[in-house]
Amino acid sequence: VTLSEGARAGTGRELGMLDSLLSLGGLVLGRKWRGRAMDSVEWEGRSLLKALVKKSALCGEQVHILGCEVSEEEFREGFDSDINNRLVYHDFFRDPLNWSKTEEALPGGPLGALRAICKRTDPGPVTIALDSLSWLLLHLPCTTLCQALHAVSHQDSCPGDSSPVGKVSVLGLLHEELHGPGPVGALSSLAQTEVTLGGTKGQASAHILCRRPRQRPTDQTQWFSILPDFSLDLQEGPSVESQPCSDPHIPPVDPTTHLTFNLHLSKKEREARDSLILPFQFSSEKQQALLRPRPGQATSHIFYEPDAYDDLDQEDPDDDLDI
């Protein structure tokens, strides 16, 4: 998701989340493609996108929504009238090619609207929400989309224009499971802030990767929840104690129930095992039996007759080996 660094004003615990998502430190002036947010089937990202849109609107920024994937009514649902009045919605859901020729529609489709908003002369900060990058990737070549976003991040004010350059931040929602590694990697290389949604045990988390020019990338994981009014609530990560355990009403399964052998020894079996002398154990009884043969026990002898090549020199028994 491209994230607005202008969302600084206000109070509440959600500001720490916004600071992590939007900037990770410092304001950057100029027109920037700030990043993307990746969600999945299990962890949807539109709620987070709407939460960031709400915070940008409350901070006094101009907020433009390029709606392609859901209707305007569905996107505005959940916002109060004050927030909805601050949003400028460009509806590309009902008429993506502007066949109805409405006057309020910007030419060139979503990318044309993106370029037109970035060329504005108003010096105030602007946030543009792309809902979604996945819709654009399914209808446009990946190279076209990447070139448009790259142009946003490198767009300068017109020569001779003395008006201050307004800050443009872009928020883009991407459904990662719909695309291969090529398009996802291309967009990732362009984004300055990348947020990947996930979680465990029903608790959502955001893995935030921030790239700064001439700096090493930084990353962190933030656990959060989104309230019904699209406010962010920071949460602690799940601990081992807080993770739900198995249902106490379901009896545990004993893995030794249906074994064909016994894993335990009785007292008599343990005594018999301890008194058993194994063949490889050299006990004192075995030693005495070898040294003192019993009467009538057959004895054995070893006879050795040296040949002509045997070395009988006791001082150097290995002389024949030439070592």
Walk me through the domains of the chain, giving residue ranges and CATH numbers: 11-235 (3.40.50.300)
pLDDT at 217: 86
- pLDDT for 250 equals 57
- The pLDDT of residue 35 is 54
Report which secondary-structure segment, H or E, holds 137: helix 133-139
Give the whole-angstrom CA distance, residue 108 versus residue 112: 4
Three-class SS state of 22: helix
> Which letter, b or e, does each residue of 115-149 get, where b requires 16 or more Cβ atoms within 10 Å of its Cβ?
bebbeeeeeebbbbbbbbbbbbbeeeebeebbebb
CA atoms within 13 Å, Cβ hemisphere of 234: 12
- Return the amino acid letter for 254: D
What's phi and psi for 43, nearest 5 deg? -125, 95
Residues 6+ apart with CB under 8 A from 306: 312
User: Rounded CA gap, 34 and 197, in Å?
Assistant: 17
pLDDT at 5: 30
Polymer length of the chain: 323
Instruction: Please state the φ and ψ torsions of residue 54, each to the nearest 5 degrees.
Output: -60, -45
| In the block, residue with structure tokens 């939007």 | 22
List, in order, residues 6 or more apart from 142 with CB less than 8 Å away: 182, 183, 186
**Could you tell me the two tokens for 68?**
């392609």
Paired strand residues for 222? 206
Residue 98 near residue 90 (C-beta atoms within 8 A)? no
Residues in CB range of 191: below 8 A, 6 or more apart? 2, 33, 34, 35, 36, 172, 211
Q: What are the residues whose beta carbons fall under 8 Å from the beta carbon of 139, sequence distance 6 or more?
A: 96
In order along its 323 residues, the chain shows pLDDT tens digits of 433 232 323 333 334 444 445 433 222 222 344 555 666 777 888 999 999 899 899 988 899 999 999 999 999 999 999 999 999 999 889 877 667 766 556 667 889 888 888 887 677 888 999 998 999 999 999 999 999 988 887 764 444 444 445 688 889 999 988 899 999 999 888 888 888 888 887 788 888 888 877 888 888 888 888 888 998 887 776 654 434 444 444 567 777 778 888 888 889 999 998 888 777 777 777 777 777 766 766 667 788 887 777 766 667 767 667 66
Please report, to the nearest 10 degrees, the dihedral formed by the alpha carbons of residues 48, 54, 57, 63 taken in order: 50
Q: Which pLDDT does position 155 carry in this prediction?
A: 62
- Give the dihedral of Cα atoms 135, 136, 138, 142; nearest 10 deg: -150
Neighbouring CB atoms inside 10 A of 203's CB total 16
